[in-house]
């Protein structure tokens, strides 16, 4: 029997593209690489600000780790909002009111902060069992600033581009 155009065997990609989720993810990444690179640039700068303030407050001023992380994140988030609004997604300003974007941005960053604090909380729980490994400044930095910020950044990129800096519907 001859093959028809509706053949969906694994060797034949569908009209919507390859069935391989890795290939689809790569295509999506390449399509958004400009905004992703700007997001990483703004986020990288905000990350340095966040980590620097966290360590200044934790080590220099002897603040509790959760308070240092919260204050550092709020300040870094404010910086990142303006960078993302005016550079990363500048073409998406449209008619959206800045106050709406600001509120949504901080809402999603609040969730991101909770993700980072959950990682810090988990580290502090582990510090009760293995203090020699987890009750250290290095362990707190890894939990809050590597694992927590990494997970939170993945969530925030999706949330920002989907709900905060949406494309104008008039395009």
Please give the chain's pLDDT, 171 residues, in tens: 544 444 444 444 445 555 777 777 666 666 667 777 888 899 899 999 999 999 999 999 999 999 999 999 999 989 988 888 788 767 666 555 677 778 888 899 899 999 999 999 999 999 999 999 999 999 999 999 999 989 998 898 888 888 877 766 554
Residue 42 lies inside a defined structural domain of this protein:
yes
Residue 103 lies inside a defined structural domain of this protein:
yes
> 46 with 83: CB under 8 angstroms?
yes
Whole-angstrom Cα distance, residue 110 to residue 104?
A: 10
Q: Which residues span the domain enclosing 139?
A: 34-164
Read off the pTM: 0.68
Residue 84 lies inside a defined structural domain of this protein:
yes
Point out which residues pair with 17 in neighbouring strands.
14
**C-alpha dist (Å) from residue 70 to 103, 148, 156:** 17, 12, 16
Residue 8 lies inside a defined structural domain of this protein:
no
> 54 with 68: CB under 8 angstroms?
yes
Whole-angstrom Cα distance, residue 58 to residue 131?
A: 18
> 160 with 108: CB under 8 angstroms?
yes
Whole-angstrom Cα distance, residue 102 to residue 22?
A: 33
Q: Token pair for residue 81?
A: 């909002």
Q: What is the number of domains present in the chain?
A: 1
* Confidence (pLDDT) at 125: 95
Residue 27 lies inside a defined structural domain of this protein:
no
Phi, psi of 19 (to 5 degrees): -80, -15
Residue 153 lies inside a defined structural domain of this protein:
yes
DSSP, collapsed to helix, strand or coil, labels residue 131 as helix
* Confidence (pLDDT) at 37: 84
Residue 19 lies inside a defined structural domain of this protein:
no
Residue 144 lies inside a defined structural domain of this protein:
yes
């Amino acid at each position: 029997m001859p093959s028809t155009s509706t053949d969906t065997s694994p060797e034949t990609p569908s009209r919507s593209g390859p069935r391989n989720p890795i290939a689809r993810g790569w295509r999506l990444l390449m399509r958004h690489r400009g905004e992703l690179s700007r997001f990483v640039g703004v986020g990288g700068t905000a990350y340095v600000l966040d980590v620097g303030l966290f360590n200044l407050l934790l080590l220099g001023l002897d603040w509790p780790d959760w308070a240092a992380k919260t204050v550092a994140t709020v300040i870094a988030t404010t910086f990142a909002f303006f960078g993302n609004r005016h550079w990363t997604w500048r073409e998406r300003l449209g008619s959206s009111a800045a106050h709406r974007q600001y509120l949504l941005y901080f809402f999603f960053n609040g969730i991101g902060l909770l993700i980072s604090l959950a990682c810090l909380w988990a580290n502090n729980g582990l510090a009760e069992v293995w203090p020699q490994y987890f009750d250290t400044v290095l362990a707190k930095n890894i939990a809050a600033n590597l694992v927590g910020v990494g997970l939170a950044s993945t969530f925030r990129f999706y949330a920002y581009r989907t709900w905060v800096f949406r494309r104008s519907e008039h395009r």
